[in-house]
Structure 1
Amino acid sequence: MAGLLQRHQAAVTCLLLYCLTGGLSIPDPRQRDALIQREVSMQTGGKMVLTEAELQLDAVLGKMKQEEILREDFPPGLHFFSARSLIQASPIFSLLHKMPKGGALHVHDFSLTSVEWLVKNATYRPYCYMCFTVSQSIRFIFSSQSPKALEHCSPWTLLESLRAKMVNTTDLDNSIMGNLTLFTEQDPETVYPNQDVLWYKFEQAFLAMMGLVTYAPVFRDYYYQGLTEFYMDNVMYLELRALLPEIYELDGRTHDKAWTLKTYQDVTRQFTAEHPDFFGARIIFTIHRGVNLSVMTEVVEEAMKLRKDFPDIMAGFDLVGREDSGRPLWYFRDALSLPVDRGVTLPFFFHAGETDLEGTEVDQNILDALLFNTSRIGHGFALQRHPFAKSLSRKKGVAVEVCPVSNQVMKLVKDLRNHPAASLMSENHPLVISSDDPAMFGASGLSYDFYETFVGFGGIRSNIGSLKELAINSIRYSSLSLKQQQEALVVWQRQWKKFISENTL
């Protein structure tokens, strides 16, 4: 024991001598401040030079955030379903709603528009039938005559007739909405005890929505309404991941993918003509990752043709569906290599790393996405576990599409302060903020996700410079050409300047 004590004292003596001879020095407060500032400058927006007006608004935001963080019911620490009303009441959320957020680069076609609009609008149209499945879900179809029976579903009921027999249709409408969204006012941890239960409900909700949204008149209106909701949330550009499903008419006739893509193009042009400060939208064609290789080969062939025929509206290609249960990217390597083999440009925007399973084939999707030269990484939740992939994505300028609310609702992270993107933001890794499936989560637009980013994993040091850079990133890392990006940035800068001036009076 005495020998151990002597060795300890000797070590302390050596350390003191080292300090006194200049090896170490007594910490200088100025050095400490410099280190802190150096670290702050490394975060997203850390090198952004702010105007006097921006600094004024930043001071207001900083004070708001300090107060928010001291709350016992701190929203980013709660499940979004429990936190939604708290977020809506937040002055920070109110300010972020007014903020021009640039583009939403990761949003899915059947969760673009609020389910309330869908139920109140689409299901009240003539010829809308509904049936109940054995799996306790619902299905819809529009038909001018009694539809053919659907397997595993009750006889079709004409909603117009059903509602005519009711004194109050509110309960029915609420029940339908409950089948089209994951949102619940009950304890979400009890309702969704694990990812399997959650994903099953998620997929059933999409199947329920399919018969409504793929009816041609609803399809057009649904997309237009979705653009409206994002526009009202001060989003000026959209990149929509779309399955390009078969769209049907009342008499049963159907339309192919080219018709669907052209309809997206026509509605987008109509919306931008009516809203000159909205920059537009583009489509990322998607296919479910559960298909086999031969189907994927056919779909990639079709994607190449569609992009050639619709270069303005079609941005590229992606795979969708649950990564953990779907086939990994490497399984489809022959099909995904076709564009390069043929010298055809088909940009990829792969979902990758939307998993908390480490070391599996699915976990390698991030590396494979980069190997196939993906333009962006969808979710990238697992990126922190792949240091080389993270370094490569930074070097290649491949941004991560971070969807905070989605990642929490889908049980990848419980407390958003612990989201891996907190670390990515601290080192200014290329990333953009998006909302994935807002209608499915009881959200809308981008403001909820910007709130969770700014207040949650952005930390106390994220500031208006962080918000500004994230908005600019959404244009910089979009699929728009360089010329279009420059034009979009001019529009956004005008909106940003107006936002700053209106909130610093």
Structure 2
Amino acid sequence: MDDYHAQRKQLIADDRALRIDHAAQKEISEEERRADKMLRHIRSSEAVSVWSATQPLKHLHGSQQLFPGMAFLTARETIVGTKLFDILSKMPKGGLLHAHHAAMVRVDVLLKLALSQPAIHIRVPAVLCSATIGTALPEFRGLSRAEWTTHPSITDQRYAPDTWVPIQNARSNFSHALGGPEGFDRWFTNIMTINPSEAYGTHNTTGEIWKKFQSTFIAAQGLIFFEPISTEYIREFFYSSIEDGISYVEVRMAFHQKYMTGADGERNVPHRVWLQLYDHILKEVKADMKQQGREDEFVGSKIIYSILRIITPEEIEWYLEDCIAMKQEFPHLISGFDLIGHEDTLLPLIYYAESLLRFVERQKELGIEIPFMFHAGETLGDGTVADMNLYDAILLGTKRIGHGFSLIKHPKLMQICRERDICVEVCPISNEILRLTGSMPMHPLPAVMNQGVHVALCSDDPAVFGNMGLTFDFYQVFVASEVNNLTTLHELVWDSIRYSALSHEEKECAFEKLERRWNIFVRYILDTYGGAA
């Protein structure tokens, strides 16, 4: 048996040598080893004390038992009460490389911003009542002063469908039968988010849940793309990211609307002004963090120019030229280009290949670089049109792959990702809520990491899913594996900067700041939980 055990030990070592965190295991400090032991002890203890099936079952929405990495919307309330979540909330996260601008601010904050603007009006296609409240999708818009109304309610039987009502009136006069003003707040929240009953019950297929998912963006766009709200929205997005330990963000901003609505209620704010606003607030926040003595906590932000994959090849030409113009005017902000939207139902990358190849040549002519950061493989398909996006993304030279959920089905593409150092932006909670997987133990992420493909953990659309920041995604990934440890977390954090669009000099600066913060984090674990192991 001694020989067998020796072979077994060697086989395990050879297998794990392929992991992305293998090399770093040899370089970790003694303090990190001790902190890692404590983290793993807490994870093991809470697997029994928190996640044991013998514990009282809360908010299960049809689930039969608790387990680490279970369905997020069911587990969220339990997660936030754990020691491990508290520890990870204090961990520096590095960069957030896959997040959509239109879903980055908590819904209650968005509502507060909307209520602060007298110009914001709401209309619905039918009088809201118990029969329509679950199906009538509202539209919000900042109107010009001449268009303001004094209509009192969207729940009064005298309401004419599609008539604009000031949002303050709509809330104040919301039917008592539907909960009054607090009922309006709950309705607003339900419109803008996915709840457990939808994710795990009524919309429990990828097609159905995507319908609900897309409706949240349709409802929110009239608020987020109203200039007076947009400026405060961006500011809130930066500060909330910083508070969760995120020091750098590459946000995918959708530019398919050619104009934002200005303070005057007219759609007259062009893309270049969007970027001017973004740049102005970014500089303000960086200056504020420096003044607070917290300069290490915020490196900055860049934008991945994105459009929905619903337009024609002829139409995309305008956006590609616009992207180039934005890059030329704001070279420090525009970091890449992407096509976004539901891959299973919208147009594939091959549909745009000719235009995208010309886009690459145009960049060479102009001496600029706008890397592709394509969504690809966000599907359960194998050989489907959506799954085939992975081949085109790689052939077109993508620097990162957004989601890549079906990548594990393609050994040659996995090999190419290793050889070309293509990082996969993995969004674990998003994938689970959008029904690509039932839980974290079922997610393909460990297989991707175990085969040496580098990964950046991302939250995707946290305002819709309730996974604000990155702590929840790190938590779900960490508890779902006995192999993952502090070194794994370290490598995921470092890869989020390593594979970012920051320049070499910017990365060096970011790493220095990150190293200081990481050492403080390790010291915190030792000082706070020294008696746990």
Fold similarity call, TM over 0.5: yes
What secondary structure sits across from 2:379 in the alignment? Answer: coil
The structural deviation recorded for 1:240 is 0.2
Instruction: Assess, with a 3 A threshold, how the Cα gap between structure 1 residues 153 and 39 changes in structure 2: closer, same or farther.
Output: farther
Instruction: Assess, with a 3 A threshold, how the Cα gap between structure 1 residues 478 and 89 changes in structure 2: closer, same or farther.
Output: same
Q: Unpaired runs of 5+ in structure 1?
A: 1-24
Indicate the residue corresponding to 1:222 in structure 2: 233
The structural deviation recorded for 1:339 is 2.7
| 8 A Cα contact 2:124 2:161, kept in partner | yes
Indicate the residue corresponding to 2:517 in structure 1: 495
Indicate the residue corresponding to 2:163 in structure 1: 155
Q: Which of 171, 176, 194 is the equivalent residue of 1:182?
A: 194
Q: Deviations 1:186-237 (Å, cap 9, x if unpaired)? A: 3632131322221111111101101111111100100110111111000000
What secondary structure sits across from 1:145 in the alignment? Answer: helix
Identify which range, 338-347 or 472-481, moves more after superposition.
Answer: 338-347
| Distance in 2 separating the partners of 1:187 and 1:410 | 10
Query: Given residue 106 of structure 1, which amino acid in structure 2 is its aligned partner?
Result: H
Q: Unpaired runs of 5+ in structure 2?
A: 54-64, 127-134, 152-159, 290-294, 528-533
Query: Given residue 286 of structure 1, which amino acid in structure 2 is its aligned partner?
Result: S
What secondary structure sits across from 2:23 in the alignment? Answer: coil
The structural deviation recorded for 1:160 is 2.0
| 8 A Cα contact 2:119 2:148, kept in partner | no
| Distance in 1 separating the partners of 2:300 and 2:335 | 12
Query: Given residue 34 of structure 1, which amino acid in structure 2 is its aligned partner?
Result: Q
| 8 A Cα contact 1:124 1:159, kept in partner | no
The structural deviation recorded for 1:153 is 5.5
Indicate the residue corresponding to 2:462 in structure 1: 438
Identify which range, 214-223 or 72-81, moves more after superposition.
Answer: 72-81
The structural deviation recorded for 1:91 is 1.3
Indicate the residue corresponding to 1:36 in structure 2: 12
C-alpha root-mean-square deviation of aligned residues, in Å?
Answer: 2.0
Indicate the residue corresponding to 1:468 in structure 2: 490
1:249 matched to 2:262: yes
The structural deviation recorded for 1:129 is 0.9
Q: Which of 111, 128, 133 is the equivalent residue of 2:120?
A: 128
Any residues of structure 2 matched to 1:274-285 within 5 Å, and which?
Answer: 274-275=288-289, 276-277=295-296, 278-285=298-305
TM-score by length of 2: 0.85
| Distance in 1 separating the partners of 2:508 and 2:337 | 24
TM-score by length of 1: 0.90
Instruction: Assess, with a 3 A threshold, how the Cα gap between structure 1 residues 199 and 76 changes in structure 2: closer, same or farther.
Output: farther
Indicate the residue corresponding to 1:84 in structure 2: 76
Any residues of structure 2 matched to 1:231-310 within 5 Å, and which?
Answer: 231-244=242-255, 245=257, 246-253=259-266, 254-275=268-289, 276-277=295-296, 278-310=298-330
What secondary structure sits across from 2:387 in the alignment? Answer: helix
Any residues of structure 2 matched to 1:319-330 within 5 Å, and which?
Answer: 319-330=339-350
| Distance in 2 separating the partners of 1:170 and 1:472 | 43
What secondary structure sits across from 1:480 in the alignment? Answer: coil
| 8 A Cα contact 1:352 1:365, kept in partner | yes
| 8 A Cα contact 2:148 2:166, kept in partner | no
| 8 A Cα contact 2:47 2:68, kept in partner | no
Name the larger-Rg structure.
1
| Distance in 2 separating the partners of 1:352 and 1:62 | 34
| Distance in 2 separating the partners of 1:433 and 1:54 | 21
| 8 A Cα contact 2:42 2:84, kept in partner | yes
Indicate the residue corresponding to 1:200 in structure 2: 211
What secondary structure sits across from 1:99 in the alignment? Answer: coil
| 8 A Cα contact 1:111 1:439, kept in partner | yes
Indicate the residue corresponding to 2:507 in structure 1: 485
What secondary structure sits across from 1:59 in the alignment? Answer: helix
| 8 A Cα contact 1:97 1:234, kept in partner | yes
Q: Deviations 1:57-97 (Å, cap 9, x if unpaired)? A: 11111112223444234455532110111111121111111
Instruction: Assess, with a 3 A threshold, how the Cα gap between structure 1 residues 467 and 104 changes in structure 2: closer, same or farther.
Output: same
